[in-house]
Amino acid sequence: MHDALQYADAHLDDFTRELEELLRIPSVSTDPDHADDVERCAAWLADHFREIGMSGAEVIDTDGHPVVYAEHTAAPDHAPTVLVYGHYDVQPPDPLDLWNSDPFEPTRRDGALYARGACDDKGQLFMHLKAAEAYLETAGELPLNLKFVVEGEEETGSTHLPPFIDDHKARLDADVVLISDTAMFAPDVPSITYGLRGLAYVEVVLIGPNRDLHSGIYGGGVENPANALARLISGLHTDEHRVNIAGFYDDVRDLTEEERATYRALPFDEAEWKESVGVEAVRTEDGYSLLEAITARPTLDVNGLWSGYQGEGAKTVLPAKAGAKISTRLVPDQQPADIARKLKRYFETRLPDTMKLDFRDLHGGQPVLMDRDHPAMQAAADALEGTFEREPFFTREGGTIPVIADFEERL
């Protein structure tokens, strides 16, 4: 291990240069205009796996973007097998005017590397890849069997990964799945994520007249879909900041007292957090701390609104349609499909008779809660403690990684 660490230190500049090369590829999975870039990124990764000695590296087609697979399975008998999951696709960089530098031209500032994908998830994936390289270059072999599966659709819901897992179960068989697509609690605070929220994401469109109308001629006689949608959205929360959907909390598994004690022990500065996001005050569900509310309680948020005229100047339009995209973050034991149905029922039962409803369940992901006492979790904790010289915290995060439940159910 000492030799591998020395190798990594000696090659840090090379590692950084290679990471910058990877970050320059605009592998935006949601945008068809970047489909070729996604393919190019997959090919780049497969080539790099081969260069560091990972045998069997290949790009495997799916009905969507390809999966990159690589392995090194020459460890002694009875050695454990670790499957590392990552994704090479990235979110769109918009709005570009809020970036201080080109999102696809890595820039170093204040000891950090800024680019789209630097910490979601190309940077973390590259860390594991370079760790394997350092060990192979210095020891010649790995003390365990190591496999990588890297997808190109995580940012769009991992639609084609579940069937990929089903089709390659033997190849993906492992004792442990290692995922580094979450955040450390703080740069100097080692942490291991053992829980993630789930997701139900829907689109709601209210349809009124058969075309956009002039508000001066028709206003007062034809109900405005934007007004109607605003009323419905305003009822989605109670004054106590709870989600006002019938049955929304029916299956919620609450925090244990042990977990709440861990939250209280975390070095969390609420004032610093508010300053970092630019707010003067916070609004949380009654009875829960800010940190509990943003990581371990279910929520509902409007992610986008559209209707009518949005160009420069004025246009007195009475719009034909109004729409919203809405996400709910879920906790064990809520089910995405069940929550989507309850959301649909909310809008159906309150829909004015002047409107039609177009409701779409776009995608979802299961919430996950892992056993903190599992031997693999304890091994990770020991490794972090040895590196940081302080005991790591076990934390939950508010985001969603749908593939975790897929691995758990299918492998």
What are the pLDDT digits (tens) for 45-103? 999 999 999 988 999 999 999 999 999 999 988 999 999 999 999 999 999 999 999 99
pLDDT at 171: 95
> Which of 46-50, 241-245, 403-407 is least confident?
403-407
Asked if residue 174 and residue 202 are part of one domain, the reply reads: no
Asked if residue 78 and residue 216 are part of one domain, the reply reads: no
Q: Which domain holds residue 317?
A: 198-252+298-365
In a domain, 290, yes or no: no
In a domain, 167, yes or no: yes
- Given a contact cutoff of 8 angstroms between Cβ atoms, the answer to whether 323 and 203 are in contact is yes
Asked if residue 246 and residue 101 are part of one domain, the reply reads: no
Task: Find the catalytic residue in 71, 133, 151, 154.
Answer: 154
pLDDT at 94: 94
> What six digits make up the tokens of 30?
């949601």
Structural domain tally of the chain? 2
Residue 224 maps to which CATH number? 3.30.70.360
Mean pLDDT for 268-276 is 96
Mean pLDDT for 146-150 is 98
Half-sphere exposure of 103 (CA within 13 A, CB side): 17
- Given a contact cutoff of 8 angstroms between Cβ atoms, the answer to whether 263 and 294 are in contact is no
> What six digits make up the tokens of 72?
């090194």
Rounded to the nearest integer, the mean pLDDT of the chain is 96
Asked if residue 27 and residue 74 are part of one domain, the reply reads: yes
Q: Is 20 known to be catalytic? A: no
% of the chain beyond a pLDDT of 90:
92
Using DSSP's 3-state secondary structure scheme, residue 6 falls into helix
- Locus of tokens 């031209």: 105
Asked if residue 232 and residue 114 are part of one domain, the reply reads: no
pLDDT at 56: 84
Asked if residue 154 and residue 67 are part of one domain, the reply reads: yes
Asked if residue 80 and residue 36 are part of one domain, the reply reads: yes
pLDDT at 223: 98
Asked if residue 177 and residue 55 are part of one domain, the reply reads: yes
Q: Is the pLDDT of residue 1 over 90?
A: no
Asked if residue 303 and residue 228 are part of one domain, the reply reads: yes
Q: Is the pLDDT of residue 197 over 80?
A: yes
What's the pLDDT band for 182 if we cut at 50, 70, 90?
confident
pLDDT at 341: 99
Give the chain's end-to-end CA distance (angstroms, integer): 30
- Given a contact cutoff of 8 angstroms between Cβ atoms, the answer to whether 252 and 352 are in contact is no
In a domain, 219, yes or no: yes
Asked if residue 234 and residue 140 are part of one domain, the reply reads: no
Q: Is 154 known to be catalytic? A: yes
Task: Find the catalytic residue in 37, 71, 89, 181.
Answer: 89
pTM: 0.85
Q: Is the pLDDT of residue 187 over 90?
A: no
Asked if residue 203 and residue 168 are part of one domain, the reply reads: no
Asked if residue 106 and residue 214 are part of one domain, the reply reads: no
